[in-house]
Structure 1
């Protein structure tokens, strides 16, 4: 499986792997970056394991991890991923997204999601994109809702967090047949 490079005037997404992940080392150390995630990246060893897991999933064709480059600041900003790719049923998840605090609220995430959704629907011809968000993560939930994703349900106490808390997960989705309207309504200026 060849990983695509996705880019527009603002952002470039390319394959995250062991040759480039250290570009994110400083950002991965920012406190509370993954506050609502069961993943751990706050030490160099933890971050390397996180990337190794992503690379392993890529080689098993169940994920495509991306490193995020912000063209406006000419700096690496974070990472994101197509994950839990189900090639037979044409469904994938977009997630594992984190960007440094200095990039949050700048519009970078919207550009990232546009490129990923567009690629999943228009190139891969997938039928559905899903997003999974911790029920407590109001900021991420609102961001996903602004993308036009619909809340499909809540998985109650389904994910064990690092601190022992059992979170509930909000499941959002966008269907391929909804994409044209969302593309114009949400991303019309792109």
Structure 2
């Protein structure tokens, strides 16, 4: 597999590149309790905690287990959020994405996930991609469906903020 630290993906409006420590303040500022309402993780309580999380993401990339990419607006390099493919060392990798509040409603999420899936299709061998999402998160569900995702199962879990998530797992095939 290629050096994941050198992955750089582009679409019409976006650049996706590996997360680096230089994005610590952006992630800390934008990964809020509102953004994580329908997600498993919770926001970090400090810049230091965010830095440690990003260091872990970089280590996972170096170990070829996860690829976390920042989403930047191509024309201004404005930080928009993060997308990732986790469990890349398995035959069932998992896609995920979050965008900062001001980036919602512009189609950036769909565009980023589409570009990421194309990279996955070209670079990973897999049986299917998993895309878990809370049933109430309609925009994220539409992203999964736009790349061919079909609901495979439903489940509930408590997220790290202590809230119940009512999830569906989409499976996406090549």
Alignment correspondent of 1:140: 140
Alignment correspondent of 1:84: 87
- In structure 1, list runs of 5 or more residues that go unmatched: 177-190
- In structure 2, list runs of 5 or more residues that go unmatched: none
Alignment correspondent of 1:38: 40
Alignment correspondent of 1:116: 116
Cα distance change on mapping 1:56 and 1:123 into 2, 3 Å: closer
SS at match of 2:136: coil
Cα distance change on mapping 1:73 and 1:103 into 2, 3 Å: farther
Residues 17-26 or 139-148, more deviating: 17-26
Shift, 1:42, TM fit: 4.4
Alignment correspondent of 2:78: 75
**For the residues of structure 1 that align with 2:48 and 2:39, how far apart are their CA atoms?**
17
Q: TM-score, normalized by length of structure 2?
A: 0.84
Aligned counterpart in structure 1 of residue 13 of structure 2, from 10, 15, 26: 10
Cα distance change on mapping 1:51 and 1:161 into 2, 3 Å: same
Alignment correspondent of 1:54: 57
**For the residues of structure 2 that align with 1:12 and 1:93, how far apart are their CA atoms?**
20
Pair 1:175 & 2:164 matched? no
Check whether the contact 1:133–1:140 (CA below 8 A) recurs between aligned residues.
yes
CA-based RMSD of the aligned residues comes to 2.2
Shift, 1:125, TM fit: 4.3
**For the residues of structure 2 that align with 1:165 and 1:34, how far apart are their CA atoms?**
10
Aligned length: 170
Q: TM-score, normalized by length of structure 1?
A: 0.77
